[in-house]
Chains A and B, each alone.
Chain A
């Protein structure tokens, strides 16, 4: 039965020792490792503040000082999210983090970056202020030029609202979960020169 095979595969590849380890390889002690977990922390603040904004409605933050503050939390957490993610991405590039059969970890990370840009962009479209008016007017030409605008209409507030609070967050969430699980399953990539002695190579 495929369900039991799935269960066995999970137990084999992601036992609790890998999912929630109490030790890490000694090389995982660089400042660069902060940015992966910081990206996830910023995503947590984005989701939390976004849920409050979603519950109160799209116009709330225009007339409520509390609403404007929550909007600011959402705004700055997105800014931090991208800063952390870009540093994390560059760090992983210079670490050649795809080594040791970690190709899919890299691919899911890069796809999470792309999905994040789309999600943030739709957020700018649903601000219901001057910025969203202008951005939607400008952006429509690019999307229309490639035929994308025929299905993804940036001037349709209702569609963009649903894209931002439902469709794209689900996609980003799924990619992020897969990415994190792959990091746990495969482990953190060892240093490039870690095995030079075993392999008889010079650095």
Chain B
């Protein structure tokens, strides 16, 4: 049963009307908006900060690149220990009792040792020490490989990533492999090798992006551009442009406790799933506003509509 008010609001309008041309209004709007868009495009252009290549990284920050390569071999990088959907090194984050990422499984397998280091090295002509190191690595069992890489990763870390100050130890071919990949990256050969992985057609940049993000170079660049999550990063972009301002509410949650503290359990350490869950609920709330008691009554309690229809109310003496 409809209320009398709903019946009136549903029925075709029987009151006063005004002349109206929908097509004229649409064309006028298109012209005006086009002029505004052309004006701002001419005045301000659009952001296009050049992409970071592995050559850029290896040339500008060779120490960081070298140390990251060692971490990839040892499995201690961010990607090496990520978990699903890339590998089973960890269970990933959780939403209370739910480990959703683990449930979905490994759908984009990433083997940081072979995908990031060994396979790319096999695609180029290497110097004699690197070729010998590659041969030694490939003829060894995984336990020995892991032992060498972990030993060197630990030693390099103790030496503050300065390879010249690393104490003598049982590192096998790891230093030569890292040097070989650094040389390859500095020559500009690594970008293509990481993307192609032996194929001709390829459009998936997952492996490049993960490797690039494991180092400090990309991170430092984004910090300088104010793009970190702690500084509303997801809605910002390079330069003085508005960015994705419509993501403000999503970015907002990362700025406040407990989500802005990664050491805070359970929420801060699992901020991503919790914030996405909150945003999911808020999105459902937005769609369902007309069905939510209290919220749907706000337009009646705060009469902004009097401002919207002030001419009509005045003319009708309402």
Contacts and interface: CB of A to CB of B under 8 A. Distances in A.
Given A145-B92, A199-B4, A199-B8, A26 B41 contact: no
A127 interface: yes
Interface string B215-234: 00010011001010100011
Contacts of A117: 246-247
A68 B42 CA distance: 10
B-side interface mostly: helix
Contacts of B104: 147, 150-151
B45 to A, nearest CB: 5
Interface string A143-174: 01111011101011111010000000000000
Nearest to A137: B213
Which bracket fits the contact residues of B? 35 or more
Given A68-B48, A129-B51, A191-B318, 11 more contacts: A20-B23, A22-B20, A75-B41, A121-B247, A131-B238, A134-B233, A137-B210, A145-B273, A192-B300, A193-B305, A196-B318
A77 to B, nearest CB: 5
A133 B10 contact: no
Nearest to B270: A145
Interface in A76-134: 76-77, 79-80, 82, 86, 91, 93-96, 98-101, 103, 106-107, 110-111, 113-114, 116-117, 120-121, 124, 127-134
Interface in A23-40: 23-30, 32, 34, 37-38, 40
A38 B313 contact: no
Contact of B49 (A80, A130, A157): A130
Nearest to B25: A37
Interface of B: 4-6, 8-10, 12-13, 15-23, 25-26, 29-30, 32-34, 36-38, 40-42, 44-52, 84-85, 92-93, 95, 100-101, 103-105, 107-108, 203-206, 209-210, 212-213, 218, 221-222, 225, 227, 229, 233-234, 237-238, 241-242, 244-247, 270, 272-273, 275-277, 283, 286-291, 296, 298-300, 302-306, 308-313, 315-316, 318
B308 A25 contact: no
A56 interface: no
B204 A158 contact: yes
Contacts of A134: 218, 221-222, 225, 227, 233
